[in-house]
Amino acid sequence: MKLLALLSLLFVFCSTTTSCNIASVITYVASPDPSKEAVFVLPNVATVVFVDDRKNVMHPTRLRRVVAERITKDLLEKDILTTMISPRDILRVSSSSDRYGEPVPMDQLGKSVDASVLIYVEISGFSLTSDGQTAKPVANCSVKVIDVRNRQRLFPLEGISYPVRAVVTNIAPSRLAGSGEVRKLSEELAENLGDEVAKLFYEHTTGRLGENLKRQ
Q: What is the model's pTM? A: 0.81
Q: Provide the mean pLDDT of the chain.
A: 84
Average pLDDT over residues 50-75: 96
Pairing of strands 84-85, 47-52: parallel
What are the counts of helices (DSSP H) followed by strands (DSSP E) for the chain?
A: 6, 8
Distances (CA, A) of 110 to 86, 117, 152: 12, 7, 12
Tens digit of pLDDT for each residue in 157-179?
Answer: 988 999 999 999 988 776 777 78
Tens digit of pLDDT for each residue in 71-120?
Answer: 999 999 999 999 999 999 999 999 887 666 677 889 999 999 999 999 99
Domains and CATH numbers, the chain: 2-34 (no CATH), 47-204 (3.40.50)
Tens digit of pLDDT for each residue in 174-206?
Answer: 677 778 889 999 999 999 999 999 999 999 888
Residue 175: what are its φ and ψ, rounded to 5°? -65, -20
Cβ atoms within 10 Å, residue 7: 15
